[in-house]
Amino acid sequence: KNQVEQSPQSLIILEGKNCTLQCNYTVSPFSNLRWYKQDTGRGPVSLTIMTFSENTKSNGRYTATLDADTKQSSLHITASQLSDSASYICVVSSQAGTALIFGKGTTLSVSS
């Protein structure tokens, strides 16, 4: 069964600190993996999209990594800011499917 699991479920860090969010998937055959940021009460906004051949992709202070062999991805946030407080959703696309497979998200809270 195609699944996307994210950890931790929630995370609290101090402003300025770094953090890493994890995503494990069982989707096959794999097409691409995306990370979305969803602010409270808003729609998800794309941070990165990675295909099979890409190991890492950055978007400002956000860096996503992909290990297609172990079917794991991580999202690293550097020098966190209060505005980083949001839910981060990992989404995987299968070459065989017609729909994206969403994780439940990790809720990040950055405090001052």
Binding site for another protein (CB under 8 A): 4, 31-32, 34, 41-46, 49, 89, 91, 93-94, 97-100, 102-105
Q: What is the Cα–Cα distance from 107 to 21, expressed in whole angstroms?
A: 10
Report in angstroms how near the CB of residue 89 gets to another protein at its nearest.
6
Report in angstroms how near the CB of residue 112 gets to another protein at its nearest.
25
Choice between 19 and 50, CB closer to another protein: 50
For 6, phi then psi, to 5°, come to -120, 145
Report in angstroms how near the CB of residue 16 gets to another protein at its nearest.
28
Contacts of 22 (CB under 8 A, 6+ apart): 6, 7, 8, 72, 73, 74
